[in-house]
Amino acid sequence: MAVQIKVNGKDHVVDVEEEMPLLWVLRDELGLKGTKFGCGVAYCGACTVHVNGQPLRSCTVPVAAMQGQEVTTIEGLADTSEGSGELHPVQQAWIEAQVPQCGYCQSGMIMAVAALLERNPNPTDEEVEAEISNVCRCGTYQRIRDAVGTLTNA
């Protein structure tokens, strides 16, 4: 079945089974490898993308549910229009705070934090911990909090 989806501002038509998870469409059909597979049950958050600005774990959502929706992946988070190459503020904070160790979970973590800060620019530590339930096996949670703290006035 042909499914029309908009990813990172571009329209795509993919000929896949409508129940194929969005994650695999992004990675295998569109070549966007930044979104990672972690657990396959929407628990770990490595597959987090934005759908209409809201975080969504893409490993369990059928692509057919994305028809007419705006999907943003880690590749589309930064403003790279006209070759500017500017990183999203969360991406820049991640670099400055040296957040990643292995880095596997980081694209999903960045997407979750970016969505939170869009809704709530000054979350408390408690709100960050309550909202960001992504799993980091390397345990960089303090570095994540440090990075988020550089972006807020809280």
Q: What is the pLDDT of residues 25-67, one digit of tens each?
A: 999 999 999 999 999 999 999 999 999 999 999 999 999 999 9
Q: pTM of the prediction?
A: 0.92
Burial (CB count within 10 angstroms: exposed 0-12, middle 13-18, buried 19+), residue 85? exposed
Taking residues 15-28, what's their average pLDDT? 97
Contacts of 143 (CB under 8 A, 6+ apart): 97, 98, 99
Q: Give Cα separations from 98 to 66, 93, 142 (angstroms).
A: 34, 8, 11
3 forms beta bridges with 14
Residues 57 and 115 in one domain: no
Answer whether residue 122 shows pLDDT above 90.
Answer: yes
Task: Report if residue 10 sits inside a domain.
Answer: yes
Residues 46 and 88 in one domain: no
The domain of 40 spans 2-75
Residues 21 and 85 in one domain: no
pLDDT band of 154, cuts 50, 70, 90: very low
- CA–CA distance, 46 with 108 (Å, rounded to integer): 4
Backbone Cα Rg of the chain: 15
Domain count, the chain: 2
Task: Report if residue 154 sits inside a domain.
Answer: no
Q: Is 13 helix (H, G, I), strand (E, B) or coil?
A: strand
Residues 44 and 95 in one domain: no
pLDDT band of 83, cuts 50, 70, 90: low
Task: Report if residue 7 sits inside a domain.
Answer: yes
Q: Give Cα separations from 116 to 33, 37, 108, 136, 145 (angstroms).
A: 23, 21, 12, 17, 13
Residue ending a domain, among 34, 54, 75, is: 75
Q: Which helix (H) or strand (E) holds 57?
A: strand 54-57
Residues 69 and 110 in one domain: no
